[in-house]
């Protein structure tokens, strides 16, 4: 008979952005279901979603007014800007956590890799076992920037001088480290010295060079809400094939893109479901709609994807994983540099196609792309294979198992 695992107190926190918070919520809920206590430090924006898992929402005031918009995806400095925003967020989060818990410290800290300044400093101060969540590709060269070069203060490969954004990132990190007693480490040692487990919310096959990562890297695949509300959406009664269109939570303010979608599907056999985001374009701006084109502020993707033959999306990692978990091929309209990396990987693996950008995106090009992946046998075979890898990765149950194993270890 298997011995029951001791109950533990887990502290979660992530960057306050939908793509970072949502993959962790099913994991928090599963740990609570198993009898553990979960405290989740978050902002008011996500407190209700956190509370719905059964976790305690530990609220703090954000360090960056709009974290998701702090690093524009089309900026050449997007990576150091994102990292600097993470330091500002860590600076706001750390005192709030320490004041809240005092001496009643949790047993394990699990944090989003974007928030590693706070996570690593807290684990070091409190001598806690720690795990890093990764909703994005694991460490690699990105966006023309070398993280090691930024941390050393050396020039980037694309220019003779250090970029001001990179210098600010290094200076802000150095100041935060000094404020929390880590001045004995260099910024490079601090960032690269983490030896704990890292959990990726996608399967190993999707990570570029995935076979080169050792056992500290746990690829659990997407952790999805097991029961999206069935009443949220129903497929069309006329049997038309369904195409879902979404640019996620941050890029709904693209009226021309959505007008192109309406034009593409207006005289087509497709039933199109467009979600424009709660802060996106006003659906009324898209003009009169055919009966087989519906526009929503928001719908749970997982209510529609099991019925969809194609998903047109912005290539955010969460959206891509939801689609592939449902066996739905992809047409990708990346809006930011990080999404372009995801889209390139998906195309490399034969899981879909990319749309042309800007003025090159026409209604006919969109319709042709949707038709090519819906009827492409090679794409469908590749999607079916990746879907199986997702199933094998273990998802929410495996993620909770890993955290339980970490919870019975002694702090370093």
pLDDT digits (tens, 9 = 90+) for 185-214: 998 889 888 889 999 999 999 999 999 999
| Segment 50-62 mean pLDDT | 97
Superfamily of domain 9-221+394-407: Glycogen Phosphorylase B; (3.40.50.2000)
pLDDT tens, position by position, 6-24: 899 999 999 999 999 999 9
What is the fold of 230-391? Answer: Rossmann fold (3.40.50)
Q: At what angle do helices 317-325 and 377-393 cross, to 10 degrees?
A: 100
Q: What is the CA radius of gyration of the chain?
A: 22
What's the pLDDT score for residue 73?
A: 66
pLDDT band at 42 (very low <50, low <70, confident <90, very high): very high
User: What is the domain partition of the chain in residue ranges?
Assistant: 9-221+394-407, 230-391
pLDDT tens, position by position, 361-379: 999 999 999 999 999 999 9
What's the pLDDT score for residue 161?
A: 58
Query: H helices of 267-411, where?
Result: 301-304, 317-325, 337-348, 363-374, 377-393, 395-407
Q: Which of 106-115, 150-159, 193-202, 296-305 has the lowest mean pLDDT?
A: 150-159
Instruction: Kindly provide the b/e burial profile for residues 262-283, where b requires at least 16 CB atoms within 10 angstroms of the residue's own CB.
Output: bbbbeebebbbbbbbbeebbeb
């Amino acid at each position: 008979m298997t011995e029951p695992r001791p109950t533990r107190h887990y502290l979660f926190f992530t960057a306050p952005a939908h793509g970072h918070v949502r993959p962790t919520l099913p994991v928090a809920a599963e740990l609570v279901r198993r009898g553990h206590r979960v405290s989740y430090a978050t902002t008011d924006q996500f407190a209700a979603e956190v509370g719905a898992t059964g976790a305690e929402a530990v609220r703090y005031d954000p360090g960056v007014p709009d974290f998701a918009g702090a690093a524009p995806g089309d900026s050449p400095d997007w990576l150091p800007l994102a990292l600097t925003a993470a330091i500002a967020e860590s600076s706001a989060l750390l005192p709030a956590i320490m004041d809240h818990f005092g001496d009643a410290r949790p047993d394990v800290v699990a944090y989003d890799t974007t928030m590693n300044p706070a996570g690593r400093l807290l684990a070091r101060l409190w001598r806690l076992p720690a795990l890093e969540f990764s909703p994005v590709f694991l460490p690699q060269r990105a966006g023309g920037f070398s993280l090691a070069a930024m941390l050393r203060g050396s020039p980037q490969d694309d220019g003779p001088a250090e970029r001001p954004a990179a210098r600010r990132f290094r200076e802000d990190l150095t100041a935060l480290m000094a404020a929390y007693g880590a001045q004995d480490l260099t910024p490079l040692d601090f960032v690269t010295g983490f030896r704990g487990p890292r959990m990726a919310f996608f399967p190993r096959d999707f990570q570029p060079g995935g076979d080169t990562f050792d056992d500290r890297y746990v690829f659990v695949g997407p952790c999805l809400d097991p029961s999206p509300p069935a009443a949220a959406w129903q497929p069309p009664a006329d049997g038309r094939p369904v195409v879902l269109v979404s640019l996620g939570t941050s890029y709904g303010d693209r009226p021309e893109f959505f007008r192109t979608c309406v034009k593409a599907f207006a005289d087509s056999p497709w039933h199109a479901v467009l979600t424009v985001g709660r802060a996106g374009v006003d659906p009324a701006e898209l003009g009169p709609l055919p009966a087989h084109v519906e526009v929503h502020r928001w719908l749970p993707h997982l209510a529609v994807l099991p019925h969809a033959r194609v998903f047109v999306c912005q290539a955010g990692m969460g959206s891509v994983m939801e689609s592939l978990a449902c066996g739905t091929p992809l047409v990708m309209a990346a809006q930011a540099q990080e999404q372009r990396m995801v889209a390139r990987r998906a195309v490399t693996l034969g899981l879909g196609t990319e749309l042309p950008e800007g003025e090159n995106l026409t209604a006919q090009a969109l319709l042709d792309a949707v038709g090519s992946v819906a009827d492409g046998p090679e794409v469908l075979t590749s999607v079916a294979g990746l879907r199986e890898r997702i199933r094998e990765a273990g998802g929410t149950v495996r993620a909770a198992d890993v955290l339980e194993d970490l919870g019975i270890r002694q702090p370093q």
